[in-house]
Chain A
Amino acid sequence: MKTIISITDLEKFYSTDEVRTIALNKLSFKVNEGEFVAIMGPSGCGKSTLLNILGLLDDPDGGSFIFNDIEVSDFNERKRANLRKHNIGFVFQSFNLIDELTVYENVELPLIYTGVKPDERKKRVEEVLEKMQIMHRRKHFPQQLSGGQQQRVAVARAVVNNPKLILADEPTGNLDSSNGNEVMDLLTELNEAGTTIIMVTHSEHDAKYSHRIIRMLDGQKVTENVLV
C-alpha cells in the first residue's frame, strides 16, 4: 500500500524569553493511503503541534516530512497553501465555521479558493450537503444550528474538495455522545470510501473507530497499537 505521510526525526520547539519548550522530539512514523489513525496523549504532549505540521499550517524545526512522495518540510507559505488546499481537509473541535456566512457559503469557501467554476461549485456543494443530510439547512447561519449539525457542516466543508487526507482535531470534543457518534460514523464512512484520516482525540471511545492508535508523551511516540 502507498505511503501518504512519512515523517522522520521531526522536531518542533517553542521559545519564550528564556524557556525553550520541546513540542516534538525526533518523532517518526508513517501513514499509508486509506488508513484511519488516531493520535492520543495527555494535554501538552505535542498532538496539536503535530497536526498543524501534518496539515501544512506550521513548519517543523528539524527532520523530514514527506507528503505524497514530496519533501515538504522546506516549503514556503505559498507552496504549502497550494498543497494544502488541494489535498487536505480539516475538522476542528470548535467547528471553526465563519459566523457571517451561511451553511452553503461556508462549504463553498474551499472551492472558491481552489478556483472551481461557479456551476461546478453549486453541484459539488449540494452533493456534499445532501450526503451530510443538511441540505435543508443550507441557508441558515452557524449559530442557528445545533452542535452536531455545525460539525456536520464542518465535515462537509472538509470533504467538498475531495481531499486525500482529513485531519480531525478532537472532532467530538464539543458534542454530546449521540452527536459525537454520528460524526464518528461519518468519518468512518469517508474512510471506507478511501480518504485517509488522522484524528487527534482524548476519547478512547472515538479512538476505537480507527485502525491504529499512536500514543504520545512529551513530543515522542511511546506506543503504537494496531486495532484491526
Chain B
Amino acid sequence: MIKNYFKIAWRNLLKNKGFTAINIIGLSLGIGCFIVIAMFVTDELSYDRYNEKADRIYRINSDILFGGTNLVMAVSADPMGETLKNDYPEVEQYTRLYASDGSKLIKKGLEHIDEKKVVHVDSTFFDVFTLPALFGNTKTALTEPNTVVITKSAAERYYGSPENAVGQMLETDDNGNTLYKVTAVVEDMPKNSHFTFDFFFSMANVNYDYGNYLSHNFHTYVVLKEGTDYKKFNKNFIDVIDKYILPQASQFMQISSMEEFEKSGNHVEYSLFPLTDIHLRSDRSIELNANSSIQYVYIFSAAALFILILACINFMNLTTARSSGRAKEVGIRKVLGTERKSLIWQFLTESTLISILALVIGLLFVWLSLDWFNGISGKEMLINSLFTPKYLVFILVLPFIIGALAGIYPAFFMSSFKPITVLKGKLSTGHKKNTLRNFLVVFQFATSIILIVGTVVIYKQLQHIQTAKIGFDKDQVLVVNNSGIPTETRQSLKNEIEQFPEIESASFAGFLPVSGSSRSDTTFSTETVMTTSNAFNMQYWRVDYDYLKTLGMELVDGRNFSPSFGSDSTAMIINETAAKLAGFDNPIGKKLYTADGDESQLVYTIIGVVKNFNYESLRQNVGALSFRLGNNSWETAYRFNTTNVAGLVDKIQSKYNAAVPGMPFEYQFMDESFDSMYRQERRVGKVALTFALLAIIIACLGLFGLATYIAEQRTKEIGIRKVLGASVANIIKMLSTDFVKLVLLAFIIATPIAWWFMNKWLQDFAFKIDLSWWIFAATGIIALLVALFTLSFQAIKAALSNPTKSLRTE
C-alpha cells in the first residue's frame, strides 16, 4: 500500500511540475532559513555555558546615579570581590579582570605585535572559569608577579608550538619594558564566550591604587555556593555600602548617611548578574565585548518561524487549490472501498515526501548561504555542526513535522470528498469556499509588509545616524595610534607631518568622540565645598590647542585655549549640557572645583562653551563634558584635505616607520570608527532585509501558484466573458481585483503592528527618525506592485487565451 502511495505521490509530483517546483522551492527556502536561524539562536543561547560552574558564576554590576550622570557599569571597585568573599560564606570564590590598559605591544623576534586580546587577572581566574590547561598548572600559574598564561594559538604564534611555550619569557611594553614568564598554556577560548583573550597576565603587575571603593575599574566575578539565591544575596549590598563605601565617600564630600545621599536625587546600587545572561541581556558601559541582545534572538526566531509558516501555508494553499484535480482519484478510491483514514495517510505521505525533498534542497541553501550569513551576523558557524547528534535528530524529525503541519489540512479536506459528487464531476472547488485561502494570503502579505517596513525603518535610522548633526566633523580625519612610541618622538612626528600640504591641522587626541575611545570622568562642584546638591559628574578630557579645530567642533560662547594666555593651564571649556547641569546662565568666567588624586582641590575657570557633540552612540543623550589643556599623546588626529587618502597614509606611515622601526603602524578614520558604533544595527538591518526578501519571495511564489490555479479554474468564465465582448484589460482587472483587495487588507492589518514594533525599536535611540506615513504608504505600494507583477503573468496569459478552446471542453 505504502508503495502505491509513493508511486501515486511521485507521479503526481511529476505531473504538475510547476506546482511541485513552487511547493518545493517555497518550502526549502523556509526550511533553509529556519535551520540557519536555529543554528544562530542555539549559538547565541550557548554563551558562557562551557564553564563548569556557569550556573553559579555572577558578575558584580554597579549602578550609580550621581550629580545628573547615570553610570550603568559592568565593572566594580577593586576590593568588592574580596569583601564579599570575606563577609559572606555563600561566596565560594571571586576573580577580577583588569582590561583598562587596552592593548599591549609584545615582542616577537625583532618586531612588536599589537596584541588586543590581553588582560590582567587574579590567580583565581582559572578556578572560576573553565579553560583546560594543556601545559603547566593553571591553579598556581598566576600567583607570582610577572607571570602570564597564554592560549594554544598564541603559543603557536610566538613559540611555534604549545610544548615550547612554558618557561619562555614574554617581553611587553608595560612601563616601557616588562618581562613575563609563561607559566601555562590553555586551550583557545571558545567563540561563544562574552570575553575572549589570548594572554592572561598576573594581576600583581597592575599598577593601581588598591583599596578604593569609589573607583570602578575591575570586572569582578563571584562563584556562589550551590543553592544560593543571587537575588536574595543582592540585598547584602546595602550593608556593604554602609560599612565600606560611605566612610570613604565622606572623606572628600559632606555626606553623613545614605538616606541623605538618596534624598538629593542620587543613588548607588550593586548587584550580582548571572554569567549566562551577560551576552544577551547586558548592555552596560565598559563591557568586555559588545554583547548581543535577547531582543534580536526573539526577532530572528519569530521571523524564521514566520517564514517557515509562510512556506507551509503555500503548501496548504496550493494543495487544496489543486484538489479538484485529485477529486476523481479520491472518488474512485472510495468506490473501491478505501477508508477515509487511509486516504488521509496517503496525502500525508505525499506532503512528507515533498518536505523531505524540500529539506534536501533547504540544506543545500544552508550550505550555500552560511558563509554569507556568518558575514552579516558576525558569527563563525560551520555546516559541520549540523552533523552533531543534537542537530541530526532535529533535522530528521523536521520534514515529518513540516509534512504533517502543511499536509494535515489538505489531507482532511480532500479525503472528505463524496464519491458520487466528484465522479459526476460536479465538485466545484473554485473560488467560493476560499475564506481560508484568503486568510492565508492576507497572513503572508501582512508578514511581508511588516518585515519590509522594519527593514525600511532600520535603514532610514542608519542613514539618519550617518547624516545626523553630531556636533563635530567626522569626515577627513585620520587617527594614528602612538602606543609604543616615545613621547618626544610623538611630538616630532606630529610637527613633521603637520607640514604636509594635505594636512589642515593636527592634534594629540587620546580622547575621541566615538564609543570605545578613552574616557575619564570625575566629580565637580560649583562651590568650594562639595555637597550632594552642588556636585555633578562630567567627562574630563585633556586636549591640546588644536583639538577643537582638528575635530571640527564649534564654540557657542567664549574662546578656545590659546598659548597667548598664560593662565590657560587652569582654563576649562565645557559643553552645553555641562553648563546646564552646573546651572550657569552665563558660564564664561565662572569657576568649577574638583578634588585632585591627592585630595587637594583644583579650581578651573570657564573660558568657553562648546556646542554639544555626540561623543557616545546616538542611542544616548549627550552627557556633560569638559576640556582642559593637557597632554594625551597616545593618539594623533590629522585633519586632511586630499582625495588621495591612500597616498597620504603611505606618506605618514613612512615617517612613522623611519622614526621607530619595527613598531606597528596603526590608524583609523574617524568616520569609520563612528560607523562601527552601529555595527549591530547594520547587521540587524541586513538580516531584516534578507528576511523581508525571503518572505516576499515565498508569498509571491504562493500567489503565483494561486493565480495559476484560479486562472485555470475560471478559464470557462473568462471564455464566456471574452465571447460577450470583454477586453484583455477587463479580464486582467477582474482576475487581479480579488487579490488586490487581499493585499490591501493585509496592509491595513500590518500597518499598526509594524508601527508598534518599529516604534519600540526606535526608543533605544536618543536621536531618531520619525515614523512618517510615507514609509507605510510606500511599503503598501511596493507589496501591491509586487503582487500585481506576480499576478500579471497568469492574468495576461488567461486573458489572451483563445476562448474557443475553453468553451469547447464541455
Contacts and interface: CB of A to CB of B under 8 A. Distances in A.
Given A48-B808, A57-B802, A113-B730, A96 B720 contact: yes
B808 A57 contact: no
B228 interface: no
B803 A110 contact: no
Interface in A84-106: 84-86, 90, 92-94, 96-100
Nearest to A78: B727
Contacts of B416: none
Most-contacted residue by chain B among A96, A110, A157 (CB, 10 A): A96
A78 B725 CA distance: 10
Interface in A79-135: 81-82, 84-86, 90, 92-94, 96-100, 109-110, 113-114
A154 B356 CA distance: 51
B724 A57 contact: no
Nearest to B802: A58
B177 to A, nearest CB: 89
A58 B724 CA distance: 14
A46 interface: no
B804 A98 contact: no
A61 B719 CA distance: 22
A110 B802 contact: no
B807 interface: yes
A42 to B, nearest CB: 17
A52 B428 contact: no
B716 interface: yes
Contacts of B721: 98, 109, 113
Contacts of B120: none
B726 interface: yes
A113 B724 contact: yes
Interface residues of B, number: 23
Given A85-B725, A90-B723, A96 B807 contact: yes
Contact of A113 (B717, B725, B800, B802): B725
Contact of B804 (A57, A82, A97, A110): A57
A81 B717 contact: no
A81 B725 contact: yes
Q: Interface on chain B toward A: helix, strand, loop, or mixed SS?
A: helix
Interface string B794-810: 00000010111001101
Chain A CB within 10 A, most for which of B717, B723, B728: B723
B724 A157 contact: yes
B804 A114 contact: no
Interface residues of A, number: 26
Nearest to A158: B724
Nearest to B432: A100
Nearest to A82: B725
A201 B428 CA distance: 30
- Of the listed residues B432, B720, B730, B802, the one surrounded by the most CB atoms of chain A closer than 10 A to its CB is B720
A148 interface: no
B722 interface: yes
Nearest to A83: B725
Interface string A36-73: 00000000000010001001011000000000000000
Contacts of B726: 81, 113
A57 B146 CA distance: 97
B535 to A, nearest CB: 80
Contact of A58 (B432, B716, B804): B804
Contacts, number: 56
A81 to B, nearest CB: 6
Contacts of A94: 810
Contacts of A90: 723-724
Contacts of B724: 85, 90, 109-110, 113, 157
A113 B726 CA distance: 6
B727 A81 contact: yes
A48 B810 CA distance: 13
Interface in B725-750: 725-728, 730
Contact of A98 (B720, B802, B810): B720
A57 B803 contact: yes
B725 A92 contact: no
Nearest to A114: B725
A77 B803 CA distance: 11
Interface in B541-570: none
Given A57-B723, A90-B723, A114-B725, A52 B804 contact: yes
Interface in B773-806: 800, 802-804
A94 B808 CA distance: 10
Nearest to B723: A90
Given A57-B803, A58-B802, A113-B730, A98 B725 contact: no
Interface in B630-678: none
A77 to B, nearest CB: 8
Nearest to A154: B720
Nearest to A90: B723
A114 B800 CA distance: 19
Contacts of A98: 717, 720-721
B290 to A, nearest CB: 60
B67 to A, nearest CB: 75
Contacts of A78: 727
Contacts of B719: 96
Interface string B52-93: 000000000000000000000000000000000000000000
Contacts of A82: 725
A157 B725 CA distance: 12
Contacts of A48: 808
Contacts of A114: 725
Interface in B578-608: none
A92 B716 CA distance: 13
A97 B807 CA distance: 11
A77 B728 CA distance: 9
Contacts of B431: 100
Nearest to B724: A110
A97 B722 CA distance: 13
A190 B686 CA distance: 70
Contacts of B802: 57-58
A30 to B, nearest CB: 23
A85 to B, nearest CB: 3
Nearest to B717: A98
Contacts of B804: 52, 57-58
Interface of B: 428, 431-432, 716-717, 719-728, 730, 800, 802-804, 807-808, 810
28 contacts: A57-B722, A57-B723, A57-B802, A57-B803, A57-B804, A58-B802, A58-B804, A77-B728, A81-B725, A82-B725, A84-B725, A85-B724, A85-B725, A90-B723, A92-B807, A92-B810, A93-B810, A96-B716, A96-B720, A96-B807, A96-B810, A98-B717, A98-B721, A99-B428, A100-B717, A109-B724, A113-B725, A157-B724
Given A92-B810, A157-B724, 18 more contacts: A52-B804, A57-B722, A57-B723, A57-B803, A58-B802, A58-B804, A81-B722, A81-B726, A84-B723, A85-B724, A85-B725, A90-B724, A94-B810, A96-B810, A99-B717, A110-B724, A113-B730, A114-B725
In the A-B complex, list the 5 residue pairs whose CB atoms are closest, starting with the nearest. A85-B725, A113-B725, A94-B810, A52-B804, A110-B724
